[in-house]
Amino acid sequence: QVQLVESGGGLVKPGGSLRLSCAASGFTFSDYYMSWIRQAPGKGLEWVSYISSSSSYTDYADSAKGRFTISRDNAKNSLYLQMNSLRAEDTAVYYCARGGLLQVPWYWGQGTLVAVSS
Amino acid sequence: EIVLTQSPGTLSLSPGERATLSCRASQSVSSTYLAWYQQKPGQAPRLLIYGASSRATGIPDRFSGSGSGTDFTLTISRLEPEDFAVYYCQQYGSSPWTFGQGTRVEIK
């Protein structure tokens, strides 16, 4: 069965950096776009970024542009999100999901919590 | 950016009743790219409906989606105890992907 397991979250100071990872299994990872979607505490869902199956295409929400970088390693079945210049408003649970662009995000991981606070 | 507005914000109903949730878009959305999710506390969202009206794998047939253009609806024909949750609509046909703010379905 499809499994997506995020890791790398934690507490970081404003201006700091964090790298999230998502380990995928149960499907042919290299066939699918992958995405990051976040949810601030008690709030709704916000798309962050997605990446094409071959890494040739990426897209970002305005809130992430210039600060976050999405990448993947198809040999390791892994998705990443490098987050720099973190702000308090980046505090959220970050989910990785299978899908992107015109592919519905069908499967989601359980999420990893990122807290940005001094 | 396509803004999705869900209504009502909260729906208070009893088990066995019918739930009708609305999702209105600020501009036309291809029905091919409209999805509905269910989220329970502490859990990731679960895909219910994609392409406006297609049920995802394993989703009971009491869940149905309809609509086109700017108006979409999720209907739960008879609420079961496990259906009380928050529901989100999403469009994935244009960048940026956007989600509605959610409708909470609570037990009356």
Q: Report pLDDT digits (tens) over B37-83.
A: 999 999 999 999 999 999 999 999 999 999 999 999 999 999 999 99
Cβ neighbours around B63 below 10 Å, total: 19
**Band (A56; pLDDT cuts 50, 70, 90):** very high
Q: Do A44 and B100 lie within an 8 Å CB cutoff? A: yes
What CA–CA distances, in Å, run from B76 to A6, B33, B83, B87, B90? 31, 20, 8, 11, 18
**Band (A82; pLDDT cuts 50, 70, 90):** very high
Q: What are phi and psi of B101, to 5 degrees?
A: -80, -10
Check whether the bond before B60 is cis (ω within 30° of 0).
no
Q: What is the pLDDT of residue B34?
A: 96
**Band (B106; pLDDT cuts 50, 70, 90):** very high
Q: How far apart are CA A25 and CA A2, in angstroms?
A: 6
A98 → chain B, closest CA residue: B47
Check if B33 contacts A (Cβ < 8 Å).
yes
Residue with tokens 């297609």: B54
Which tokens go with A18?
Answer: 């964090």
A60 → chain B, closest CA residue: B96
SS (H, E, C) A55-99: CCCEEECCCCCCCEEEEEECCCCEEEEEECCCCHHHCEEEEEEEC
Q: How far apart are CA A40 and CA A22, in angstroms?
A: 19
Mean pLDDT value of segment A50-72: 97
pLDDT above 80 (res B31): no
Check if B84 contacts A (Cβ < 8 Å).
no
